Structure 1
Amino acid sequence: MRYALLLHYPEMTADDIGPEAIAEGMREFDEYAKALQDAGVLVSADVLQPSAVTTTVTVADGALRVQDGPFADTKEQLGGSFVIEVDDLDAAIAWAGRAPSATWGPVEVRPSSTHFRDGAWTAFAG
């Protein structure tokens, strides 16, 4: 089963975090990504740029609406994601609990229902 681990945490500037904490966080995420890869479960991983550079697009009554910034105004923002393929929800939860950011904010574990590859959509059984 494929799961997206969606990492939510408060956004801070590099000055707020400090160079030592940034280096430590990078090291922890590098180890986490390599552990997922070594276990053969990593499909992809992304670290997102700050929400300040987000552009939100909606269409209402046929009109395109483009908004600078995120749609949701919350303290925590989506900061990155890992897509993993594991046997079941328990395995996905175990990996989510190992995410370095789980100590800063929630890690949402969301199962995939379909994926697009080689020109076609495929539904996941589950």
Structure 2
Amino acid sequence: MRYLLLISADESRVDDVVDGDGLRAFRAWLDDLLARGVLTAHEGLHPSHTATTVRVRCDEVLLTDGPFIEAKDQIGGFAIIEVADLDAAIEVAAGHPASRFGQIEIRPVRTP
């Protein structure tokens, strides 16, 4: 089954964790998933202030700079994995270094 991992945390902490040790931990996690053949995609995102949120109300396109929901924690990246079940997805998510200071939301991916 495919799962989307939404990786989010307090953006103000990014510089604290994306240093030598944090980068090595992330690389080890990524290399493990690649070796196991369960990683379909993984992408990091630019900071939330670069976002544009689109809503359509009464046929009017409304744009908001940045994320629509104001919160300290923002989505910083995502991964798509293919594993046997939710327990396996939880194990993968718990291994992501960001789970130590942020959170990983796991969502099953719909199949067409």
TM-score normalised per structure 1: 0.82
Report Cα offsets for 1:7-59 as digits up to 9, x if no partner.
11000276x528xx522222221111111111010000011110010110111
For the pair 1:112 / 2:70, whether they are aligned, the reply is no
TM-score normalised per structure 2: 0.92
Report Cα offsets for 1:59-118 as digits up to 9, x if no partner.
11111111101011011001111100001000000101101001011111110113xxxx
Partner of 2:80: 83
**Separation of aligned partners in 1, 2:58 and 2:20:** 47
Aligned CA-pair RMSD: 1.6
Identity %: 40
Partner of 1:24: 21
**Separation of aligned partners in 2, 1:78 and 1:39:** 25
Partner of 1:9: 9
**Separation of aligned partners in 2, 1:109 and 1:95:** 10
**Separation of aligned partners in 2, 1:55 and 1:26:** 28
- Give the secondary-structure state (helix, strand or coil) at the position aligned to 2:64: strand
Ranked by relative contact order (alpha carbons within 8 Å, sequence separation 6 or more), the top structure is 2
Paired letter, 1:17: D
Which aligned segments of 4 or more residues in structure 1 are displaced greater than 2 angstroms?
A: none
**Separation of aligned partners in 2, 1:13 and 1:52:** 15
**Separation of aligned partners in 2, 1:64 and 1:55:** 12
Matched positions, count: 112
- Give the secondary-structure state (helix, strand or coil) at the position aligned to 1:74: coil
